[in-house]
């Protein structure tokens, strides 16, 4: 007779902590205890599910940063897919609002307890929390003070004081120098990187009471529609290519709805606090990748350079879906580069599939670029049977992507991809050497256009210097592969990144889907370390030349190393201060940062109309909410519309007016404003008489003088207005 071994149900400290935390979270949610609900709910959604999944996957001992990264990534992925299952299954049994707090928490709790029991009963799995030991010292206190100062500084900006925020940039520069010259222990590098990332991101998101940026306004709209209905309608905008691309991304529909309902938090705070917190760990993942290739010191320099690019902490905070997608992207490649190191092949494979699927439902453009990266990764091992499975991931990744984009997204992401491809091919054949087809940022960097001041010229030279150093480092690594420490897998990915940057500069319209700054940032993921490689190579060449000329030798290699560190540090800090807009603000040049510029009119006077468009004035919010409260669109007669310029239609009218883009017409010199239609005027239109079309091209209000003259003003607050047309009007 076969006997079974009794299972030991004794609870470990880890098990008891999990149970206590879960009960405390339920208590906070059930009684809606302020602060406690938000704090415990955040960890319950963002960290605990992934931590349980790690245990259930029988993960081997891994470092604390990896625990945090994989736990957050697996948590967000599981929450999105649990929400998707609830959204599909519950309506079949008569539950029309599947994304309520009760439904979501119950589903997440069931998953956590099932996986918890599986992981707890695995006696070979040690507690992965044993590594969480911290020692309090001066260095740690200094690091912690930086994000605190940044948060306080951002809040002070609302009252018209930027001094503390400017000082935060000084503190970050000081921290960089302390680490560069060995004054801070290498064990604190990861924490320092996270602190810098948090400080930079929050100095952008917390300076205003309203949403700033571009895409985030429509991302807020689709999230709000999902939150109000407690249901994600994938067919809501299925016939509109652009809007449907947003609506079919779970990162800005289901995920923010879950956060908002479970945490009882307005979506504004989800996008300005929760998402930046999640995104702040992306540099941490990059540090682990770089560290495995070149060591901790070079890895820190490389990550600092990556974070210094204003796209990381300014542009990305205006793109909620890409913040989430970049986390899954970097985790996917962290696993690919470390496959077989610290976790079983089966475990890594399972997590890679989860992260790939999560990336696909988070951002379609980055998914396509992810496939491009994976193709180069797999080609690097085309003759090695040990890594042939990587090609299977490419096929699986592409299959999941095209299945989602065809059957769920109604093919609109593929239509966008085909349209971009056609523009690139046709543009490359017809307008390859035409300056008019280049992104304005590229023209500015290359010196085209107006040189407003010496500081602008210096800023361009600093940026060009970093770009040249990246190119030098990449070419050196390519030509002297045997001397370099880069693994074949990493070099393959970096080659793909270099091609992306090169194509965005050379090929017309290539960066049209993401803009040049976002394309450059994606290419920089695996090319950032080449800045350090290129700098070291050029410094060594100059050093050898100097010794040859003067027929002398320096006293030692350490001195050479010190001089090189000083030069590289000077370049990186200068680059950091220019990218952050600190230099431009101190010398009174054209502003490049909304956070550091109190007088927003100075942005427009300097000619940076794009940055001015990113700012949301309070009066614009009030007028958009007035439209929402008075249901102007719903009460107008058949055939009437709401007219506005191209920027308002995509931004404030979507987020704060909650008006469907299909119900807004962009005012042009061909517009027919039918009777009973309304015209929304934002700050730029009212104060400066400038209108912008869909592409952002400015037009003078005199083009619409007839329309504006024959309309009645039904709302005004001095900076924004709503006009009503009593008759049919044409320009």
pLDDT in tens, 379-429: 776 555 545 566 677 888 888 988 999 988 888 887 877 776 666 565 555
Q: Output the pLDDT for position 72.
A: 96
Q: How confident is the model at residue 177 (pLDDT cuts 50, 70, 90)?
A: very high
Q: How confident is the model at residue 6 (pLDDT cuts 50, 70, 90)?
A: very low
Give the residue from 150, 137, 144 showing the smallest Cα distance to 194.
144
List Cβ neighbours of 265 (8 Å cut-off, separation of 6 or more).
38, 259, 274
Helix (H, G, I), strand (E, B) or coil at 280: coil
Give pLDDT tens digits for 521-580: 999 999 999 999 999 888 888 777 665 554 444 333 344 567 778 889 999 999 999 999
Please report, to the nearest 10 degrees, the dihedral formed by the alpha carbons of residues 436, 439, 444, 449 taken in order. 20
Looking at the DSSP assignment, which residues form a beta bridge with residue 716?
A: 721
Q: How confident is the model at residue 4 (pLDDT cuts 50, 70, 90)?
A: very low
Q: Taking a C-beta distance cutoff of 8 angstroms, is the pair 358, 84 a contact?
A: no
Give pLDDT tens digits for 622-665: 999 999 888 665 444 445 688 999 899 999 999 999 998 888 88
Q: Taking a C-beta distance cutoff of 8 angstroms, is the pair 51, 71 a contact?
A: yes
Q: Taking a C-beta distance cutoff of 8 angstroms, is the pair 706, 730 a contact?
A: yes
Which tokens in the block code for residue 47? 């960290």
Q: What is the pTM of this model?
A: 0.91
List Cβ neighbours of 141 (8 Å cut-off, separation of 6 or more).
none
CA angle 630, 636, 641 (to 5 degrees): 105
Q: How confident is the model at residue 354 (pLDDT cuts 50, 70, 90)?
A: very high
Please report, to the nearest 10 degrees, the dihedral formed by the alpha carbons of residues 26, 32, 33, 36 taken in order. 50
Write phi, then psi, for 664 (nearest 5 degrees). Answer: -120, 130
Q: Taking a C-beta distance cutoff of 8 angstroms, is the pair 615, 600 a contact?
A: yes
Q: Output the pLDDT for position 703.
A: 82
Cα–Cα distance for residue pair 581/588, rounded to 1 Å = 10
Q: Taking a C-beta distance cutoff of 8 angstroms, is the pair 585, 170 a contact?
A: no
Q: Output the pLDDT for position 86.
A: 97
Cα–Cα distance for residue pair 420/242, rounded to 1 Å = 13
| Per-residue pLDDT at 295 exceeds 70 | yes
The 10 Å CB-count burial string (b at 16+, else e) for 498-509 is: bebbeebbebbb
Cα–Cα distance for residue pair 625/647, rounded to 1 Å = 17
CB neighbour class for 325 (10 Å; exposed up to 12, middle 13-18, buried from 19): buried
Displacement of CA 220 from its chain's centroid (Å): 15
Q: Which of 112-126, 453-467, 494-508 has maximum average pLDDT?
A: 453-467
Give pLDDT tens digits for 467-506: 899 999 999 888 887 777 788 888 888 988 888 888 777 7
Q: Output the pLDDT for position 558.
A: 45
Which tokens in the block code for residue 57? 């996957």
Site of tokens 């499975």: 389
Give pLDDT tens digits for 231-255: 999 988 877 777 888 999 999 999 9
Q: 353-362, 410-419, 550-559, 700-709: which range is least confident on average?
A: 550-559
Q: Output the pLDDT for position 18.
A: 82
Q: Output the pLDDT for position 343.
A: 46
Across the beta sheet with 678-681, the strand order is: 664-666, 642-644, 678-681, 721-724, 712-716
Site of tokens 């510029």: 597
Cα–Cα distance for residue pair 363/378, rounded to 1 Å = 22
Site of tokens 């030509």: 479
Q: Taking a C-beta distance cutoff of 8 angstroms, is the pair 463, 445 a contact?
A: yes
Where do the DSSP E strands lie in 245-313?
none
Which tokens in the block code for residue 377? 């990764």
Displacement of CA 230 from its chain's centroid (Å): 25
Site of tokens 């070419």: 475
List Cβ neighbours of 545 (8 Å cut-off, separation of 6 or more).
none
| Per-residue pLDDT at 2 exceeds 50 | no
Give pLDDT tens digits for 658-670: 998 888 888 887 7
Please report, to the nearest 10 degrees, the dihedral formed by the alpha carbons of residues 510, 526, 312, 69 taken in order. 130
Which tokens in the block code for residue 312? 């990381």
Q: What is the helix (H) or strand (E) element at residue 368, kind and residue range?
A: helix 364-379
Cα–Cα distance for residue pair 31/28, rounded to 1 Å = 6
Q: What is the helix (H) or strand (E) element at residue 679, kind and residue range?
A: strand 678-681
List Cβ neighbours of 440 (8 Å cut-off, separation of 6 or more).
449
Question: Which of the 8 DSSP states describes residue 93?
Answer: G
Return mean pLDDT, the chain: 84
Cα–Cα distance for residue pair 436/19, rounded to 1 Å = 62
Length of the chain (residues) = 731
Question: Which of the 8 DSSP states describes residue 406?
Answer: I
Q: Taking a C-beta distance cutoff of 8 angstroms, is the pair 543, 579 a contact?
A: no
> Does residue 238 or residue 333 have the better pLDDT?
333
Sign of CA dihedral 709, 712, 716, 721: negative
Give the residue from 611, 623, 613 showing the smallest Cα distance to 692.
613
Q: Taking a C-beta distance cutoff of 8 angstroms, is the pair 643, 660 a contact?
A: no
Write phi, then psi, for 285 (nearest 5 degrees). Answer: -65, -40
> Does residue 138 or residue 198 have the better pLDDT?
198
Looking at the DSSP assignment, which residues form a beta bridge with residue 712?
A: 724
Q: Taking a C-beta distance cutoff of 8 angstroms, is the pair 49, 225 a contact?
A: no
Which tokens in the block code for residue 311? 């796209």
Q: Output the pLDDT for position 695.
A: 73
Sign of CA dihedral 687, 693, 695, 700: negative
Cα–Cα distance for residue pair 614/515, rounded to 1 Å = 15
Which tokens in the block code for residue 342? 């610290």
236: left (phi over 0), alpha (psi -120 to 50) or beta: alpha
Q: What is the helix (H) or strand (E) element at residue 111, kind and residue range?
A: helix 101-120
Helix (H, G, I), strand (E, B) or coil at 722: strand
Q: Output the pLDDT for position 596.
A: 92
């Amino acid at each position: 007779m076969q006997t079974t071994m009794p299972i030991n149900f004794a609870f470990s400290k880890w098990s008891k902590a999990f149970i206590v935390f879960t009960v405390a979270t339920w208590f906070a949610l059930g009684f809606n205890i302020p602060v406690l609900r938000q704090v415990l709910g955040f960890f319950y959604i963002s960290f605990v599910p992934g931590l349980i999944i790690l245990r259930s996957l029988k993960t081997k001992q891994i470092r604390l940063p990896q625990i945090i990264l994989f736990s957050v990534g697996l948590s967000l992925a599981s929450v999105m897919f649990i929400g998707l299952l609830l959204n599909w299954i519950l309506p079949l049994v008569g539950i029309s609002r599947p994304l309520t707090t009760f439904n979501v928490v119950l589903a997440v709790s069931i998953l956590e307890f099932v996986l918890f029991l599986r992981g707890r009963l695995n006696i070979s799995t040690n507690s992965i929390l044993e590594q969480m030991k911290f020692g309090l010292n001066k260095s740690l206190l200094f690091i912690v003070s930086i994000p605190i100062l940044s948060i306080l500084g951002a809040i002070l900006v609302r009252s018209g004081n930027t001094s503390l925020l400017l000082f935060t940039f000084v503190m970050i520069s000081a921290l960089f120098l302390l680490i560069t010259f060995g004054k801070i222990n290498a064990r604190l590098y990861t924490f320092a990187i996270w602190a810098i990332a948090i400080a930079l991101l929050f100095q952008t998101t917390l300076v205003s009471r309203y949403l700033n940026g571009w895409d985030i306004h429509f991302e807020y709209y689709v999230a709000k529609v999902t939150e109000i209905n407690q249901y994600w309608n994938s067919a809501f905008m299925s016939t509109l290519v652009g809007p449907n691309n947003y609506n079919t991304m779970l990162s800005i529909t289901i995920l923010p709805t879950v956060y908002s309902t479970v945490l009882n938090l307005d979506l504004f705070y989800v996008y300005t606090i929760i998402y930046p917190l999640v995104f702040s760990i992306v540099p941490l993942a990059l540090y682990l990748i770089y560290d495995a290739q070149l060591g901790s010191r070079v890895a820190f320099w490389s990550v600092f350079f990556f974070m210094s690019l204003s796209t990381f902490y300014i542009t990305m905070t205006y793109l909620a879906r890409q913040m989430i997608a970049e986390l899954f992207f970097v985790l996917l490649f962290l696993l690919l580069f470390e496959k077989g190191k610290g976790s079983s092949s089966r475990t890594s494979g399972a997590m890679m599939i989860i992260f790939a699927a999560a990336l696909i439902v988070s951002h379609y453009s980055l998914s396509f670029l992810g496939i491009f990266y994976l193709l180069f990764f797999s080609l690097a091992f085309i003759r090695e049977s040990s890594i042939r499975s990587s090609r299977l991931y490419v096929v699986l990744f592409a299959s999941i992507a095209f299945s989602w984009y065809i059957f769920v997204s109604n093919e609109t992401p593929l239509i966008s991809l085909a349209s971009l491809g056609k523009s690139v091919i046709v543009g490359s054949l017809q307008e390859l050497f035409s300056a008019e087809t280049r992104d304005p940022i590229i023209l500015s960097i290359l010196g085209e256009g107006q040189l407003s001041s010496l500081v602008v010229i210096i800023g361009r030279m600093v940026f060009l210097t970093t770009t040249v150093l990246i190119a030098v480092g990449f070419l050196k690594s390519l030509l002297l592969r045997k001397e370099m420490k880069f693994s074949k897998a990493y070099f393959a990915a970096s080659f793909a990144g270099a091609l992306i940057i090169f194509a965005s500069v050379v090929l017309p319209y290539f960066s049209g889907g993401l803009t040049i700054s976002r394309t450059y940032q994606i290419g920089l993921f695996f090319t950032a370390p080449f800045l350090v490689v290129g700098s070291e190579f050029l410094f060594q060449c100059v050093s050898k030349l100097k010794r040859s000329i003067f027929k002398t030798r320096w006293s030692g290699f350490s001195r050479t190393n010190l001089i090189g560190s000083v030069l590289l540090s000077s370049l990186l800090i200068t680059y950091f201060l220019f990218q952050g807009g600190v230099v431009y603000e101190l010398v009174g040049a054209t502003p490049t940062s909304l956070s550091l510029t109190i007088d927003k009119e100075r942005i427009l006077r300097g000619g940076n109309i794009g940055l001015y468009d990113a700012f949301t004035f309070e009066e614009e919010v009030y007028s958009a909410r007035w439209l929402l409260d008075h249901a102007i669109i719903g009460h107008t007669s058949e055939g009437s519309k709401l007219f506005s310029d191209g920027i308002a239609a995509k931004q404030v009218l979507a987020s704060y007016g909650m008006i469907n883009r299909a119900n807004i017409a962009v005012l042009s010199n061909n517009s027919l404003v039918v009777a009973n239609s309304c015209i929304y005027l934002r700050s730029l239109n009212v104060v400066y008489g400038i209108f912008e079309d869909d592409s952002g091209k400015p037009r003078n209000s005199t083009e619409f003088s007839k329309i504006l003259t024959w309309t009645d003003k039904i709302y005004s607050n001095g900076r924004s207005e709503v006009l009503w047309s009593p008759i049919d009007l044409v320009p």
